[in-house]
Chains A and B, each alone.
Chain A
Amino acid sequence: MASFFRNTEKKIPRPHPQEKEFSRRAHAVAGEKFFTSLCGFSALFTFGLVLFLFGFLALFAFPLFKNGGYFLLLTTPWQPLSGKFGIGPMIAGTAAISSLAILIAFPLSLGAAAFCEADFAPRPIVRWIRPVFQLMTGIPTVVYGFLAVFLLIPLLRQALGGSGFSILAAALTLALLVSPTMILFFSDAFRAVSREDVRTLVGLGAKPEERFIYLLLPQARNGILAGLLLACGRAVGDTLIALMLAGNSLAFPASCTEPARTLTAHIALVMASDTQSPEFQSIFACGLTLYFITTLLIVLCRTRIQARR
């Protein structure tokens, strides 16, 4: 970075005397150094914080590990009255709700992004649609949850029976929540594809759909993967949607129309209880499990991307 600036200074002739020029440059170098160290500090601080959080969680969940209880917790049910504090049903709930949400949102988002960026839609329409997607990323989760309680839940209750509070309700709302993020990520990935290549294909007479399948999709693969990962992270980590819409029941979910409890909702529900109880201890196991899931997602994605390169 420093050499880059020195080069430009040499090229531009300056009328100032030599000493003044020198002090200005020293000043700039000092500023640069300060800026670099500030950035370095931010990066290291964030990095340290993440590690610290992991250490904190591990420390509190340690009693669970000591007697091998953690792995037992992962598969057993939650029955506080008989002394069982397993988080198996919550892991199943998180898996079911977030994967269903991604399954719904991914094709939708890919389609929407393709519509906007792969010359399927007339430009004026895209100019109106894109800002709406951007706006949607900023809508708070609680608004979606609140609206869904009054609009989606009665609809599902009438259509499918039961209470309406179900995996499906949470997954549908969660899909709505994560798709704008995915759409914007995918759009950016499609835009990053070299225009020359696109023009070449146009010159060869390729239709928009052919350009999309043979050029845009393969070229944007890493961006799509990154957007997908981010959406997965959001879906797994979101608390409020599941807490408000999934019904939070403790049974292992058997179908999409049944209620379930996610790990995050479980933490929120148990958090308020007495800090000495074994219930409270078990939420650290939940936290740790969430941490492992996201780490696994990132590792998986990174190795995939590197393998492509």
Chain B
Amino acid sequence: MRYIQKIFFMASLVTLPFLLQAQAQDLSSFKGKTGTIQIAGGTAHIPVMKEAAQRIMHEAPGIRIAIAGGGSGVGIQKVGEGLVDIGNSGRRPTNLEIASYGLVLYRWALDGVALVVHPANPVSAMDSATLAAIFKGEIRNWKTLGGPDRTITLYTRDAASGTREVFWEKALQKGDITDTAHVVASNGAMKTAISQDPGSIGYVSVGHLEPGIKPLVFEGVTPSIETVKSGAYPVSRGLYSSTKGEPAGLTADFLHYLYSPEGRAIIQDKGFIPADRD
């Protein structure tokens, strides 16, 4: 699947110049500028940040944008200590962090994760205790949940996945995922696996929901872009970028680019829901 992504990436590189012509007004503010932006923190942000950085650096070769991981805590700490320009976090920085570092927050996306099963599965709702038992490997058959007599096949994502992070923190409450769970490398691979396997249960970003897979009502709330936006659906989080004090120059331009139509298109393309500052 990574290969397919690579092919698409190559194809998008080829078509990029044409796209840029059409949407030049978004990127034109970077033209001719030089400088560097250092970004660190949450891994879920990286695909969006990388794509945005590539487009900006293509438009303005004098700009260097360095993106590192490290996790939400590291992102907030590094930007607070002035080591990087932008610190990413998959959670809202605490009031203490905001006050002590003087952080300015930019929330630019929402990330909701839906539980999904095969469309033929009669089970349609789940609570968090049952889910934890399933992923721990304690409930092994759909019969226990009122479904057919079929072994439950667990599908999860690789350790680097931001989708997995949200699911693990918000739906599983950091509970165990059994060793026997299948691991797939992308939202796309998850959709393929779930739509084929009648005994499957897995999770995808809400932005990736489509007819071939069936989302489960979790804790009484149907996962959808609307319920994530309204805050009713519990398995979601905001993607934040913070700066130390009001950003200026390139850093401000970069953050504003994320709210432009093109920036929002990138966010959506990576499976997130574009959002305004909170």
Contacts and interface: CB of A to CB of B under 8 A. Distances in A.
Contacts of A276: 69-70
A54 B68 CA distance: 26
A240 interface: yes
Interface in A230-250: 240, 243-244, 247-250
A258 B180 CA distance: 9
B20 interface: no
Nearest to B69: A274
Interface string A187-218: 00000000000000000000000000000000
A165 B71 contact: no
A243 B127 CA distance: 31
Nearest to A79: B179
A83 interface: no
Contacts of B181: 249-250
A272 B160 contact: yes
Contact of B193 (A77, A165, A240, A250): A165
A189 B197 CA distance: 44
Interface string B172-185: 00001011111111
B214 to A, nearest CB: 17
Contacts of A258: 180
Contact of A164 (B2, B3, B70, B197): B197
Nearest to A141: B3
Contact of B3 (A240, A247, A271): A240
Given A149-B192, A276-B70, A279-B159, A165 B182 contact: yes
Interface string B147-168: 0000101000011100000000
Interface string A70-92: 00000001011100000001000
Contact of B43 (A248, A271, A273): A273
Interface stretch (A13-21, A154-162, A295-303): A154-162
Contacts of B192: 149
B4 interface: yes
Given A240-B3, A268-B2, A261 B183 contact: yes
B200 interface: yes
A96 to B, nearest CB: 15
A306 interface: no
B196 interface: yes
Interface residues of B, number: 30
A42 interface: no
A303 to B, nearest CB: 37
Given A162-B153, A261-B183, A269-B185, A275 B196 contact: no
Contacts of B3: 142, 240
Given A154-B196, A276-B70, A77 B182 contact: no
B271 interface: no
Contacts of A275: 68-69
Contacts of A274: 43, 69-71, 160
A273 B183 contact: no
Interface in A253-283: 258-259, 261, 268-276, 279
Given A240-B3, A269-B158, A274-B70, A163 B180 contact: no
A268 B196 CA distance: 24
B151 A162 contact: yes
A163 B179 contact: no
Interface centre among A80, A163, A247 (most CB of B within 10 A): A163
Contact of A142 (B4, B69, B185, B199): B4
A79 B177 CA distance: 10
B99 interface: no
B70 to A, nearest CB: 6
B14 interface: no
Interface string B33-69: 0000000000100000000000000000000000011
B184 to A, nearest CB: 7
A259 B185 contact: no
B1 interface: yes
B180 A269 contact: no
Contacts of B182: 163, 165, 247-249, 259
A239 to B, nearest CB: 9
B183 A163 contact: no
Contacts of A80: 159
A273 to B, nearest CB: 4
Interface string B1-35: 11110000000000000000000000000000000
Task: Kindly list the 9 A-B residue pairs having the minimum CB-CB distance in the complex, ordered from nearest.
Answer: A273-B160, A274-B69, A251-B179, A248-B183, A272-B160, A269-B158, A163-B153, A247-B182, A250-B179
13 contacts: A79-B179, A161-B151, A163-B153, A164-B196, A248-B184, A250-B179, A251-B179, A258-B180, A259-B180, A268-B185, A271-B160, A275-B68, A279-B159
Interface of A: 77, 79-81, 89, 142, 149-150, 153-154, 157, 161-165, 240, 243-244, 247-251, 258-259, 261, 268-276, 279
Given A248-B183, A275-B69, 14 more contacts: A77-B179, A142-B3, A162-B151, A163-B153, A247-B182, A247-B183, A249-B179, A251-B180, A269-B185, A270-B158, A270-B159, A273-B160, A274-B71, A279-B159
